[in-house]
Amino acid sequence: MRSWGGFLFLLFLNLGFSIASDAQSCPANLEAKCDGDSWEGEFFPEIPKIKYEGLKSTNPLSYKWYNADEEILGKKMKDWLRFSVAFWHTFRGTGADPFGAPTKQWPWEDGTNSVAMAKRRMRANFEFIDKLGVDTWCFHDRDIAPDGKTIAESNANLDEVVELAKELQGTRIKPLWGTAQLFMHPRYMHGAATSSEVGVYAYAAAQVKKAMEVTHYLGGENFVFWGGREGYQTLLNTDMQRELDHLARFLQAAVEHKKKIGFNGTLLIEPKPQEPTKHQYDWDAATSFAFLQKYDLVGEFKLNIECNHATLSGHSCYHELETARINGLLGNIDANTGDPQIGWDTDQFLTDVGEATLVMLSVIKNDGLAPGGFNFDAKLRRESTDVEDIFLAHISGMDTLARGLRNAAKLIEAGSLEELLRKRYQSFDSEIGALIEAGKADFATLEKKAMEWGEPSVASGKQELAEMIFQSAL
């Protein structure tokens, strides 16, 4: 049995937007330089730049599989993978859960949610990104800058932090994507674009407008819509048709605004079946595709597939990726995984090599994800409380996907799976098969053939062989 109350509370705490009430530390050796955003020390003085050292290395602060500039199937590893740091988990995650207070006491936090604190955190973010050696980051408007009392005040807070982010990004770093956080504030309790309150709908529009503008200003390459509260708790009080119409119009307005401001980034819908609502409208890739088709939004949106969301909807990540890919909708991946024994969005770093290999098979077939990439929508475990753990978690997530890429390339180069697949469908390479695939075989033609052929011969599906081939690449 799932306890939804527990889920909501868990989500609230685990998304990392709750601020520790206990004042956190600021190292004494920085003296007065600890206040405001005037922190002048290094945030990660013990951590060097992370480098590729290969499998022989025993240094945990090194890459064993991820060699950014190495070419695999004609593309550099960094271009296949396009790794990105999720600001909310990495810098706002506190380790709090429904049963306990925050466990993480990052030395740079002062326990406040001030703009000055937001700016100092931003400095930590860019030092982290630089040491990890990745090129992109992802953010929600409200996790990088505090909410104000009015929209104008919130926008001003955001502008101040974004200005610093712009400076710290330099020429190499940019957002993989930005998004508006439309699920935490109580005003969004009935949803944002699907709220029953028109005032909330307008407020959400104002927030998305601004978030899109700052993403554009920072050179962001995509903009995400995750409908955390776009759904329902009970259909008895919900006009589903009206809510879906509102959501579609909201997304249409986002397209219009994107064009108006000259933002060329891809708009992405991130499916998730539930949590925090009992039922989210963007349940999975197929449901989202149907929605986009119904409202004539195909061509304007792609999908951001999150592996943990895939398993929540009863699919594998590979299924969701392939559903998106074959429909031309694979835009980005929120790289994480769930726990096989836990039924909610645990947002763990993906460390399963088999799963990573399947993920990379899809990505290779998609010829990469650009302008999307892999966003580590993943958090440290509650019990991981050393600053170093933030690095270790990302390194292991990056190495796992890099290993998956190498394995997937091996499989593709060996060609045996491809050959198995080709053979399995070869009866459709016949004259009548070609007619069927060209849409020219009517039922009368097929009936005539079936009668002529009699009982068809049916070959083995070779499932065990397929699995054997797959295993041999891991």
Q: Which does 91 bind (CB under 5 to 8 A by kind): ligand XLS, Ni ion, none?
A: none
Question: Which residue, 117, 132, 121, 210, is CA-closest to 172?
Answer: 132
Q: By CB under 5 A, what part of segment 292-311 binds Ni ion?
A: 306
* Burial of 433 per CB tally in 10 Å (0-12, 13-18, 19+): middle
Q: Which is nearer to Ni ion, 106 or 177 (CB)?
A: 177
* Alpha helix positions (H), 185-263: 198-217, 240-261
Q: Which does 10 bind (CB under 5 to 8 A by kind): ligand XLS, Ni ion, none?
A: none
Q: Which does 258 bind (CB under 5 to 8 A by kind): Ni ion, ligand XLS, none?
A: none
> With binding defined as CB under 5 A, does residue 320 bind Ni ion?
no
Question: Which residue, 334, 362, 336, 332, is CA-closest to 350?
Answer: 336
Minimum CB distance to ligand XLS, residue 140 (Å)? 6
Q: Which does 143 bind (CB under 5 to 8 A by kind): Ni ion, ligand XLS, none?
A: none
End-to-end CA distance of the chain: 36
Which parts of this chain interact with ligand XLS (CB under 6 A)?
140, 179, 224, 226, 270, 272, 306, 334, 345, 377
Q: Which does 224 bind (CB under 5 to 8 A by kind): ligand XLS, Ni ion, none?
A: ligand XLS
Q: Which is nearer to ligand XLS, 230 or 334 (CB)?
A: 334
Q: Which is nearer to ligand XLS, 270 or 320 (CB)?
A: 270
Given the residues 140, 246, 319, 394, select the one marked as catalytic: 140
Minimum CB distance to ligand XLS, residue 334 (Å)? 5
Beta strand 330-334 with 374-376 is: parallel
Beta strand 279-280 with 231-232 is: antiparallel
Minimum CB distance to ligand XLS, residue 306 (Å)? 5
- Which helix (H) or strand (E) segment holds residue 362: the answer is helix 353-365
> With binding defined as CB under 5 A, does residue 110 bind Ni ion?
no
Instruction: Out of 377, 380, 398, 405, point to the residue binding Ni ion (CB under 5 A).
Output: 377
Instruction: Give the count of residues interacting with Ni ion (CB under 5 A).
Output: 4
Q: Which is nearer to ligand XLS, 14 or 400 (CB)?
A: 14
Q: Which is nearer to Ni ion, 311 or 407 (CB)?
A: 311
- Token pair 């919130």: residue: 154
Orientation angle between helical segments 463-472 and 416-424, nearest 10 degrees: 160
Minimum CB distance to Ni ion, residue 334 (Å)? 4
Q: Which does 84 bind (CB under 5 to 8 A by kind): Ni ion, ligand XLS, none?
A: none
Question: Which residue, 381, 378, 394, is CA-closest to 104?
Answer: 381
Instruction: Out of 135, 147, 275, 334, point to the residue binding Ni ion (CB under 5 A).
Output: 334
Is cis: bond before 276, omega within 30 of 0? yes
Minimum CB distance to Ni ion, residue 83 (Å)? 15
Minimum CB distance to ligand XLS, residue 240 (Å)? 22
Q: Which is nearer to ligand XLS, 224 or 402 (CB)?
A: 224
Phi, psi for 313 (deg, rounded to 5):
-85, 10
Letter for the amino acid at 302?
K
Catalytic residue flag (residue 140): yes
Question: Which residue, 349, 470, 474, is CA-closest to 403?
Answer: 474
Q: Which is nearer to ligand XLS, 180 or 469 (CB)?
A: 180
Residue 256 φ/ψ region, left for φ over 0, alpha for ψ in the -120 to 50 degree band, beta for the rest: alpha
Q: Which does 179 bind (CB under 5 to 8 A by kind): Ni ion, ligand XLS, none?
A: ligand XLS
Alpha-carbon gap, residue 27 to 169, rounded angstroms: 26
Is cis: bond before 371, omega within 30 of 0? yes
Q: Which is nearer to ligand XLS, 146 or 227 (CB)?
A: 227
Stretch that binds Ni ion, among 253-261, 318-326, 369-377, 424-432 (CB under 5 A): 369-377
The three-state secondary structure class of 26 is coil
Minimum CB distance to Ni ion, residue 298 (Å)? 22
Contact status, residue 268 vs residue 372, Cβ threshold 8 Å: yes
Minimum CB distance to Ni ion, residue 433 (Å)? 41
Give whole-number Cα distances, 165 to 128, 181, 359, in Å: 13, 18, 31
Residue nearest to ligand XLS (CB): 226
Alpha-carbon gap, residue 310 to 304, rounded angstroms: 11
Phi, psi for 147 (deg, rounded to 5):
-60, 140
Q: Which does 221 bind (CB under 5 to 8 A by kind): Ni ion, ligand XLS, none?
A: none
Stretch that binds Ni ion, among 93-101, 339-347, 406-414, 416-424 (CB under 5 A): 339-347
Encoding tokens for residue 460?
Answer: 């083995």
Alpha-carbon gap, residue 294 to 271, rounded angstroms: 16
Judged by the rule CB under 5 A, the positions of this chain that interact with Ni ion are 306, 334, 345, 377
Q: Which residues are catalytic?
A: 140
